[in-house]
C-alpha cells in the first residue's frame, strides 16, 4: 500500500521531469550560422541539414514517415503499453510496425530486450542509469551490457538519445568516437509552415549542428564537426499558438492551447494539424516520442485515461488512412534517407520489409523467440531488481564501472556463451555455444507484400478504433508478460528508490524543459 501511495505521489513530478518538453524555439537561423555545400556533402554518408527531401525527390514521391520511439526501462508493462498502439497495425506493404526503444538498464528485464529485438525492433542506447550529460562509462557501459546480457550485436546498436534530452558537445563527440551512427536528442522547434523552420530531414554533422543552437552551448556555427555522424531531430507538434505552443515528448500529457487542463480532443486536433502541414509540405518526418510508463494499464499506481489511449489510436488510424504513410523506427527512417527512393520503389528497400527467422518451433534454444526459449531463461534474483536473461546471471548487477561482470557459477550453473559477431541472435545457442547456421545461411522468410503501382496498397492497416471522451482501451496482444512472474516487494522498493533518484537527477535539467 505504501509503495503504491509513493508511486502515485511521484507520478506528476516524474511526468514533468521526464517529459522532454520545450516551451519555444530552441534555435534560429542566425544562431545556427549553418552552411553546407550539397555538391561536396552527398549521400549515403553525408547530408546537409535541409527542409527539402533527400536525393532531390519531389515531395509527392516521398513517403510520410511517422517515427515511433520509447524511452527508459524495458519491462512487460512498457512493451504492453507500446503494443496497445502498434500490435494490430501494419504498414502499406502488410508488415507489422517496428519502433525504436531507447533503453536504459535500471529496472530493465534483459530477456524482454532480446525478444523485442528479435521481433524486429531497434534497440538503442539511453545510458545505463538514466543520467543527463552522460560520461563515456554510462554510454559505452550500456552498449556492453546490452550485448552481454541481452544478446544485441554491437553493430545493431546504432542510436542514442540523452536522458531528459540533456546532452552537450562532449556527448556528441563521445558518440561519434564510439562509432554510433546517430543521435536523436535535439528538437525541431519551429513549425514547417514558418519561415526559418528547423524541421530538417536527418543530416550529418560534417558541418556542425543546426538544431538546439539556443539551448546547447558550443553547438552550431559549424560545430561540432563530426563527419558521417547523423542527427535525427525530434519533430514537435504545435497547437493553435504555433511556434509558442510546441509539444515534443508525450504530447498527450500537455494541456493544449495554453489551457489549464489536458483535453484529448484538442490534442488530437493539433496532432492532425501538424501532421497535415508535414504531409502537404516537404514531408519531413513526424514523431511519437513516448515514455511508455505514462500509458501503462498494468504498472502499479498508473491509471492512464482510456480517452487518451483511444485518442492516440484515433490519430494513428486517421494518419494510416492517408496514402503513403509509414510508421517506422529511426533505423528504418535513416536507411531510407541514406538511400532515398521514390514511393514506387519502396518495395525494394530491405529495411522496410518484414522478415522472420526460420527456426523450428521444436528447437530448445534461448534465442529471443518465446516458443523456443521457454524454460531456458536464467533468473537473476537481485534484491533491488530481479531480471531474466538467456546469457547467464552475473555475480553482481551491471554498473557503469563494471557493465559485464563475471557469470555466477556458485550453485553449479554452467557458463553461457555470449552472442558472437558472426551469428544472428535468433540462431545463436548460448547454452551450447553454437550457431544453428553459418554466417551466410541463416534463413529468413520475407512476408512483405508488393507495393503496387497506380495507388495500389498505399495505405496501412489500423485497429479501426473510434475516439470518444469515454473510448475503451484498444485490445492488444500482451508481449510475453504471462511468461514472467510478478515483481517482488523488494523489486518495488528498489524501483521507488530509483524514482526518487530520477527526481533528484531531474533538478539539474529543469531549465531546459
Band (pLDDT 50/70/90 cuts) for residue 440 is low
Residue 485 has pLDDT above 70, yes or no: no
Q: Which of 261-265, 360-364, 445-449 has the lowest mean pLDDT?
A: 445-449
Per-residue pLDDT reduced to its tens digit, 204-254: 999 999 999 999 999 999 999 999 999 999 999 999 999 999 999 999 999
Give me the CATH topology for the region 29-34+46-352. TIM Barrel (3.20.20)
Chain centroid to Cα 3, Å, comes to: 29
Residue 196 has pLDDT above 50, yes or no: yes
Residue 494 has pLDDT above 60, yes or no: no
Query: Which three cell numbers mark 239?
Result: 497547437
Q: Where are the alpha helices (DSSP H) in 341-412?
A: 370-373
Chain centroid to Cα 254, Å, comes to: 20
**Residue the block writes with cell 525530434:** 234
20-24, 65-69, 462-466, range with greatest mean pLDDT: 65-69
Per-residue pLDDT reduced to its tens digit, 264-297: 999 999 999 999 999 999 999 999 999 999 999 9
* Residues 300, 305, 306, 307, Cα dihedral to 10°: -170
Residue 6 has pLDDT above 80, yes or no: no
> Which pLDDT belongs to residue 191?
98
Band (pLDDT 50/70/90 cuts) for residue 488 is very low
> Which pLDDT belongs to residue 453?
63
Average the pLDDT over 302-313 and give the result. 95
Instruction: Say if residues 284 and 65 touch (Cβ distance below 8 Å).
Output: no
Per-residue pLDDT reduced to its tens digit, 98-124: 999 999 999 999 999 999 999 999 999
Residue 503 has pLDDT above 70, yes or no: no
Average the pLDDT over 438-451 and give the result. 81
Residue 3 has pLDDT above 60, yes or no: no
Band (pLDDT 50/70/90 cuts) for residue 465 is low
Record the pTM.
0.90
Instruction: Say if residues 444 and 357 touch (Cβ distance below 8 Å).
Output: yes
**Which of 180, 126, 142, 73 shows the shortest CA–CA distance to 402?**
142
In the chain, the N- to C-terminal Cα span, in Å, equals: 32
Distance between CA 199 and CA 184 in Å, rounded? Answer: 13
Q: Average model confidence (pLDDT) for the chain?
A: 88
Helix (H, G, I), strand (E, B) or coil at 68: strand
> Which pLDDT belongs to residue 252?
97
Average the pLDDT over 123-133 and give the result. 96
**More confidently predicted of 434 and 4:** 434
> Which pLDDT belongs to residue 462?
74
Average the pLDDT over 79-98 and give the result. 95
Residue 10 has pLDDT above 60, yes or no: no
Residue 495 has pLDDT above 90, yes or no: no
Residue 482 has pLDDT above 60, yes or no: no
226: Cβ contacts below 8 Å, ≥ 6 apart: 172, 173, 176, 204, 205, 206
> Which pLDDT belongs to residue 502?
38
> Which pLDDT belongs to residue 461?
84
> Which pLDDT belongs to residue 53?
98
Residue 513 has pLDDT above 80, yes or no: no
Band (pLDDT 50/70/90 cuts) for residue 13 is very low
Average the pLDDT over 488-496 and give the result. 40
Band (pLDDT 50/70/90 cuts) for residue 79 is very high
> Which pLDDT belongs to residue 474?
53
Residue 467 has pLDDT above 80, yes or no: no
Judge residue 234's burial from the number of C-beta atoms within 10 Å of its C-beta, 0-12 exposed, 13-18 middle, 19 or more buried.
Answer: buried
Amino acid at each position: 500500500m505504501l509503495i503504491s501511495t509513493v508511486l502515485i505521489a511521484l507520478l506528476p513530478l516524474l511526468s514533468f521531469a521526464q517529459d522532454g518538453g520545450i516551451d519555444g524555439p530552441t534555435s534560429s537561423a542566425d544562431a545556427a550560422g549553418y552552411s553546407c555545400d550539397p555538391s561536396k556533402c552527398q549521400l549515403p554518408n553525408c547530408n546537409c541539414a535541409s527542409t527539402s527531401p533527400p536525393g532531390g525527390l519531389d515531395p509527392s514521391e516521398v513517403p510520410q514517415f511517422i517515427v515511433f520511439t520509447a524511452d527508459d526501462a524495458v519491462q512487460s508493462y512498457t512493451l504492453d503499453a507500446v503494443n496497445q498502439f502498434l500490435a494490430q497495425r501494419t504498414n502499406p506493404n502488410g508488415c507489422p510496425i517496428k519502433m525504436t526503444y531507447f533503453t536504459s538498464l535500471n529496472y530493465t528485464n534483459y530477456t524482454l530486450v532480446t525478444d523485442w529485438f528479435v521481433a524486429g525492433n531497434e534497440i538503442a542506447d539511453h545510458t545505463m542509469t538514466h543520467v543527463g550529460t552522460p560520461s563515456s562509462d554510462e554510454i559505452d557501459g550500456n552498449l556492453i551490457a546490452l550485448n552481454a546480457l541481452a544478446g544485441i550485436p554491437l553493430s545493431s546498436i546504432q542510436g542514442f538519445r540523452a536522458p531528459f534530452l540533456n546532452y552537450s558537445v562532449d556527448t556528441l563527440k563521445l558518440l561519434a568516437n564510439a562509432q554510433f551512427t546517430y543521435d536523436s536528442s535535439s528538437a525541431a522547434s519551429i513549425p514547417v509552415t514558418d519561415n526559418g523552420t528547423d524541421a530538417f530531414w536527418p543530416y550529418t554533422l560534417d558541418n556542425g549542428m543546426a538544431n538546439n543552437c539556443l539551448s546547447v552551448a558550443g553547438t552550431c556555427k559549424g560545430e561540432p564537426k563530426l563527419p558521417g555522424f547523423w542527427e535525427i531531430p525530434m519533430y514537435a507538434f504545435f497547437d493553435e499558438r504555433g511556434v509558442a505552443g510546441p509539444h515534443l515528448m508525450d504530447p498527450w500529457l500537455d494541456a493544449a492551447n495554453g489551457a489549464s487542463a489536458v483535453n484529448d480532443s484538442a490534442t488530437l486536433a493539433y496532432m492532425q494539424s501538424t501532421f497535415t502541414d508535414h504531409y502537404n509540405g516537404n514531408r519531413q518526418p513526424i514523431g511519437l516520442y513516448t515514455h511508455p510508463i505514462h500509458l501503462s494499464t498494468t504498472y502499479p499506481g498508473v491509471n492512464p485515461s482510456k480517452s487518451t489511449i483511444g485518442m492516440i489510436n484515433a490519430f494513428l488510424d486517421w494518419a494510416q488512412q492517408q496514402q503513403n504513410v509509414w510508421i517506422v523506427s529511426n533505423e528504418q527512417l535513416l536507411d531510407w534517407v541514406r538511400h532515398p527512393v521514390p514511393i514506387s520503389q519502396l518495395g525494394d528497400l530491405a529495411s522496410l520489409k518484414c522478415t522472420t527467422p526460420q527456426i523450428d518451433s521444436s528447437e530448445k534454444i534461448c534465442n529471443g523467440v518465446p516458443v523456443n526459449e521457454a524454460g531456458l531463461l536464467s533468473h537473476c534474483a537481485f534484491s533491488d531488481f530481479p531480471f531474466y536473461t538467456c546469457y547467464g546471471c552475473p555475480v553482481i548487477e551491471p554498473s557503469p564501472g563494471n557493465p559485464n561482470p563475471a557469470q555466477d557459477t556458485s550453485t553449479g550453473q554452467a557458463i553461457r556463451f555470449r552472442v558472437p559477431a558472426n551469428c544472428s541472435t535468433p540462431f545463436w545457442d548460448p547454452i551450447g555455444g553454437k550457431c544453428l547456421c553459418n554466417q551466410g545461411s541463416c534463413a529468413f522468410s520475407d512476408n512483405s507484400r508488393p507495393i503496387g503501382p497506380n495507388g495500389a496498397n498505399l495505405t496501412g492497416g489500423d485497429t479501426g478504433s473510434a475516439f470518444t471522451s469515454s473510448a475503451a482501451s484498444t485490445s492488444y496482444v500482451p508481449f510475453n508478460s504471462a511468461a514472467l512472474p510478478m515483481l517482488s516487494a523488494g523489486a518495488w522498493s528498489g524501483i521507488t528508490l530509483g524514482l526518487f533518484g530520477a527526481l533528484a537527477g531531474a533538478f539539474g535539467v529543469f531549465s531546459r524543459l
